[in-house]
Amino acid sequence: MHFIEVYGLSTNFMRYAYDFVLLDKENRKYTGDGASELDYYGFNKDVYAAGNGKVVYASNDHKDDKSFDVTKLKKNPLELYGNCIGIQHKNGAISIYGHLKQNSLMVKMGDSVVSGQKIAAIGVSGSSFFPHLHFEVRTSIMNAAEGLPSYFSNIYALESNMKIKSGFVETGSIMLTK
């Protein structure tokens, strides 16, 4: 039996997952030696809701210490993301915002949110090596979820230096906002 199966992960819920990392003009993610989360440009930066919906999951008590207990995945499929918010949208899809800063959540389960609303700050909780925002859209909060594509607007593809007014972005692409 594979590691993934042991923890009940049988689908590809991260099929269209994205990690957002803030960079400086030289494409560096931190200042100094990067030894502290405070060195990273993204740490404690605001996170906003991608769309209207209802908060169906909120975890706010994981420390920003890069610790992760894989055995907790059996009881909680979102443990991977540490501090995390799940927002269910009108079409049933759930957007996940992970690796959030401890005690930064501005919403709780049951709250309604609107697109562009500040909901938390970037941290380094859960299975994270450095501060960044993990974002994905999926069919369910549970392990049996399938990943759903996300569409972005007003971004630039670094590889081609082309502006994308609106559309799908391949996982693994490096995108910039300008």
pLDDT tens by residue, 63-82: 998 888 888 877 887 888 99
Residues in Cβ contact with 28 at an 8 Å cutoff, skipping those fewer than 6 apart: none
Mean pLDDT across the stretch 39-59? 95
Mean pLDDT across the stretch 108-113? 98
pLDDT of residue 159: 60
pLDDT tens, residue by residue, 112-158: 999 999 999 999 999 999 999 999 999 998 877 888 888 776 666 66
Count other Cβ atoms within 10 Å, centred on residue 103: 14
Say if strands 46-48 and 53-59 run parallel, antiparallel, or are unpaired: unpaired
Segment (H or E) for 112: strand 112-113
150-159 burial by CB neighbour count: b if 16+ within 10 A, else e?
Answer: beeeebeeee
C-alpha to C-alpha distance for 137 and 158, rounded to whole angstroms: 23
DSSP letter assigned to residue 126: S
By mean pLDDT, which of 51-55, 80-84, 105-109, 152-156 is the weakest?
A: 152-156
C-alpha to C-alpha distance for 96 and 15, rounded to whole angstroms: 13
